[in-house]
Structure 1
């Protein structure tokens, strides 16, 4: 089930790898959406707002986990493309040991910082307790998130995007069942939703580990590999830390934007949360294309085929343009029926809809620049260039910061919503220029 992405026409190779990722990412968003729907319908709009107010923190935690683990896997994809079997095994062992250390660091840091962070973010008083309960439980289970992402990244690094899809579908279905049991049967409220997420991810991570150990000998290290290697650590941290920081920087900007949204009350927060879930669902094709290009560029960089990387990027941009136009239409047409899924009949939808439409319509006009960010960023990362993609996150942060500060100063909801499009435009320009620079630099060091 491994896919050698150094051979064949770029279009079918990219699509073959991307489609399972899209399905898997959509399932992941669907079960996150089901979390929100069940909380909104069975616990209440305030509970939904509480979960939604932690969404940017969740993005920080999961983004950091995805970034650091994807960075650790880049070395694997490069060595796999270079047909260095022993090097792949050594990188797997070293990346796993590094992930243990980062899990301990991230968990301890978050447990101490979470309450002050919610306070700084202007979390409304009537939802603060539920928000704190939810995010603390999620933080306690971050180990499951990190190791599921790590094992999935290992599989994708050797061209296997189908098995992670299977475990994502399984995790999604299990999470829904646990949500229903914990929230409806045991009346655990938002805490039940958090425990359901943790448990589903933990089981999926264990099953993924068993599959790799039994079925993928390329990813099964020798006993002698289980030690920290100075060379591998240097290479994996050089890729992983910038990718993790890029997510952290981006999520810091979204937390600032969330702080601006929170000033407009729990109704606005609930509408923003529900709309954000729909938008996240529709964005998954863009994210999957980025994940594909990280593996594609990593393998082809390892084999030294720079022209093939550039050809793949052109193909990916064409696919992304079509996808962005389709999801723009879907965002506008699905918003109103989607909102009804999140709330029970006693919620005043006429009060909720204007907040949701403002955010949805504004963001949907800028999906094309958003789609390019993932392609340029992940291609550079797959080639081992982590600094410039991270600085693209800084461009996002600065754009959101400026817009959100002005929005809070003049209390303008439309301006607060423009934080996302402003960030996408800034990052798209920066990463596009950076990609051209990186490709020129690589071509100079790899003459044909």
Structure 2
């Protein structure tokens, strides 16, 4: 493929998807800060602790369900490329049914979840009671939250990133308004915080359904019948992405657990530095979303050349973002650390390990991008296997062998893990010719 095939229009198309998602990635945490600030101004700190702890539990479960968004995006993008509106409706219907069953399952199993939480988290009697109340209320929004993930997948697959952005921002904005009314206006503290979020989730699910119905021209007669074979295929696709996500989060959690043996100061310093990964994801996720939609569309069109062009375009911008992040962290990393914490010991310790964070975008951006490529072509098994290879064959051995290096060993293991993911994905991409669409 020749570079002349790439035009200014390709870059504009890529950014038309990436930029709205970058904006939504930035806006959601900012609105979340407002949400936290409202709770934080209540007279007793126990309310903030209960909401923070409860939100962590619920968010962890919802984060594991992100496979609903990922699998839907790839399948919709392929059907969009093939201009098969019937297939698009089938994917949405199957994904929505799967999400509803999963959401209702989470709601039904919630009474059994709380005892597990108290085994992992230490909480006093009053804090435990308030946290339990928050979690129990929040899970009534689980079906809506799961459905919204599917609808985000549909919108991204159809390259309607602006509507996806509106959906993400609307969820957070409605939550903030609900907090003002229920917490400040009606003095409902933790209960109000939970109800505001549940309300936001259901309203957003309705808004998402409106957007999807518009783009897919949905009417009641258009809904396909449920198919066991289709649901089985979707289960397999989602299962592989779920396992991949579990492995990723387990590796990140293990880094914190391992650091705890070195002392609380290292846990705190690493927690600060891991916030840089959140900053990295703001830009790299946007490029990955573009790769999902555009390469998925190419597969649907069976246009291998277009797939390779989109890979080059997305790879170029992924590299640009990576270099930019590395430069920003090198020049302003110390200042960013001081924005996150004002504890002198933590700042001094974090600065020692800052060079690893400067290097990280250059090593990690490949895996972000290739995740998007693999989702676009629905290569979920390859995603799972490359993640497992990086985790078990690279991350764990390096973590074990570098114990004498202390905290530097943890960052070495994480860096090798990120690089290994990208290398494994690149090898599979070429070996299996995943961009060769017959």
TM range, smaller chain: 0.7 to 0.9
**Residues 108 and 87 (structure 1), Cα distance of their counterparts in 2 relative to 1, 3 Å cut:** same
After TM superposition, the score normalised by the length of structure 1 is 0.79
Q: After the TM superposition, which of the residue ranges 321-330 and 233-242 deviates more from structure 2?
A: 233-242
Where does residue 103 of structure 2 map in the other structure? 103
**Residues 317 and 94 (structure 1), Cα distance of their counterparts in 2 relative to 1, 3 Å cut:** same
CA contact (8 A) 2:367 2:419 kept: no
Where does residue 3 of structure 1 map in the other structure? none
Where does residue 4 of structure 1 map in the other structure? none
- Shift of residue 381, structure 1, vs aligned partner: 2.4
Where does residue 319 of structure 2 map in the other structure? 321
Are 1:81 and 2:81 an aligned pair? Answer: yes
1:37-436 matched pairs, under 5 angstroms: 51=52, 60-108=60-108, 112-113=112-113, 115-116=115-116, 119=119, 129=128, 133=132, 141-178=141-178, 186=187, 188=189, 197-213=197-213, 215-216=214-215, 218=216, 220=218, 222-223=220-221, 225-263=223-261, 272-332=270-330, 338=336, 349-357=343-351, 360-398=354-392, 399-402=394-397, 412-436=406-430
Unaligned stretches of 5+ in structure 1? 1-6
Superimposed CA distance per residue, residues 170-189 of structure 1 (whole angstroms, 9 cap, x where no aligned partner): 33334445556777785847
- Shift of residue 48, structure 1, vs aligned partner: 7.4
**Matches of 1:437 and 1:65, distance apart in 2:** 30
The structure with the largest alpha-carbon Rg is 2
Where does residue 26 of structure 1 map in the other structure? 26
**Residues 272 and 235 (structure 1), Cα distance of their counterparts in 2 relative to 1, 3 Å cut:** same
For these two proteins, the number of residue pairs brought into alignment is 427
**Matches of 1:336 and 1:130, distance apart in 2:** 40
- Shift of residue 161, structure 1, vs aligned partner: 0.5
Superimposed CA distance per residue, residues 87-122 of structure 1 (whole angstroms, 9 cap, x where no aligned partner): 2222222221111112233445565346546745xx
User: Does the residue aligned with 1:220 lie in a helix, a strand or coil?
Assistant: coil
**Matches of 1:424 and 1:66, distance apart in 2:** 20
Superimposed CA distance per residue, residues 125-173 of structure 1 (whole angstroms, 9 cap, x where no aligned partner): 7899599657666555433332221111111111211111122223333
**Matches of 2:175 and 2:307, distance apart in 1:** 38
**Residues 93 and 289 (structure 1), Cα distance of their counterparts in 2 relative to 1, 3 Å cut:** same
- Shift of residue 378, structure 1, vs aligned partner: 2.1
User: Does the residue aligned with 1:227 lie in a helix, a strand or coil?
Assistant: coil
Higher relative contact order (CA 8 A, sep 6+): 1
User: Does the residue aligned with 1:30 lie in a helix, a strand or coil?
Assistant: helix
**Residues 400 and 175 (structure 1), Cα distance of their counterparts in 2 relative to 1, 3 Å cut:** farther
CA contact (8 A) 1:358 1:417 kept: no
CA contact (8 A) 1:275 1:335 kept: no
**Residues 60 and 219 (structure 1), Cα distance of their counterparts in 2 relative to 1, 3 Å cut:** farther
| CA-atom RMSD in angstroms | 4.0
Superimposed CA distance per residue, residues 192-214 of structure 1 (whole angstroms, 9 cap, x where no aligned partner): 7666554433332222223333x
- Shift of residue 248, structure 1, vs aligned partner: 2.2
**Matches of 1:239 and 1:268, distance apart in 2:** 38
CA contact (8 A) 1:47 1:130 kept: no
- Shift of residue 309, structure 1, vs aligned partner: 0.5
Superimposed CA distance per residue, residues 265-317 of structure 1 (whole angstroms, 9 cap, x where no aligned partner): 76665555454445313322111211211111111101110111111111111
Unaligned stretches of 5+ in structure 2? 1-6
CA contact (8 A) 2:167 2:204 kept: yes
